[in-house]
Amino acid sequence: MRREVTLEEISDGRLYDANDMVKADCQDCKGCHDCCTGMGDSVLLDPYDVCRLSRGLRKIPEELIGSVLELGISDGNVLPHLAMCGTEEKCVFLNQECFIHEIRPGFCRLFPLGRYYTEDGFKYIIQIHECAKKNRSKIKVKKWIDTPDLRQYEKFVWDWHQFLLDVQEVFYQTEDADLIKNLNMYVLSRFYTKSYEENRDFYEQFYERLEEAKKLLSLGV
């Protein structure tokens, strides 16, 4: 999501790399699930998130979307996000504890960190207004994110971010409602609802689909 704010407004003003230490570890705050409630449609999911949930829950993506996942619009893109439920608007996966912790989405792994994108890539930031807990301890960024093959994952995050920006540019340059609808449905179908083969590397399959989508976009869809 595009946010027209300065770095100082949302963070401590510093940019961090994966090997830096940050005051983010809230594991001593037992029983606190503030970041798992009232999040609305903000916990957006990328294709790796949905693939990881699909494989871990043993359900095809189409079974997840419309039940535990919902669709929303972010800067013109129709994207899945975690569903919130009940009067507390808590995450659908939250009971006494998060029961998908091992396969939780990237947004959850990152929080209270965020990503600050530039033209060349992204750095990590500490979001100073997003978590009220003050007794967080220091932890290395890559340990906090807890994702296998972090370098490959970061490349994927950047490439997916750039692709969504390219799609948004198509939206901004057209008033053709059918084109916008069809492109959104294509992205959802190709990157989310079409399952990734378990016996093949996710990233290999993702980049095959990304290359296909880029060729399609260059032809004007």
The tens digit of pLDDT for each residue in 161-201 reads 999 999 999 999 989 999 999 999 999 999 999 999 999 99
Look up tokens 């976009």; give the residue: 217
- Look at residue 216 in the predicted model and tell me its pLDDT: 87
| Least confident piece of the model among 41-45, 49-53, 69-73, 96-100 | 96-100
Phi-psi region of 186 (alpha: psi -120 to 50; beta: other; left: phi over 0): alpha
Question: Mind listing the pLDDT tens digit for each residue in 74-87?
Answer: 989 999 999 999 88
Question: Mind listing the pLDDT tens digit for each residue in 4-39?
Answer: 667 777 778 899 999 999 988 776 556 677 788 888
Look up tokens 């407004």; give the residue: 9
SS3 call for 184: helix
Residues 6 or more apart whose Cβ sits within 8 Å of residue 124: 15, 16, 17, 18, 20, 22, 110, 113, 114, 115, 116, 141
Q: Per-residue pLDDT for 205 more than 60? A: yes
Q: Average pLDDT for residues 150-161, to the nearest whole number?
A: 97
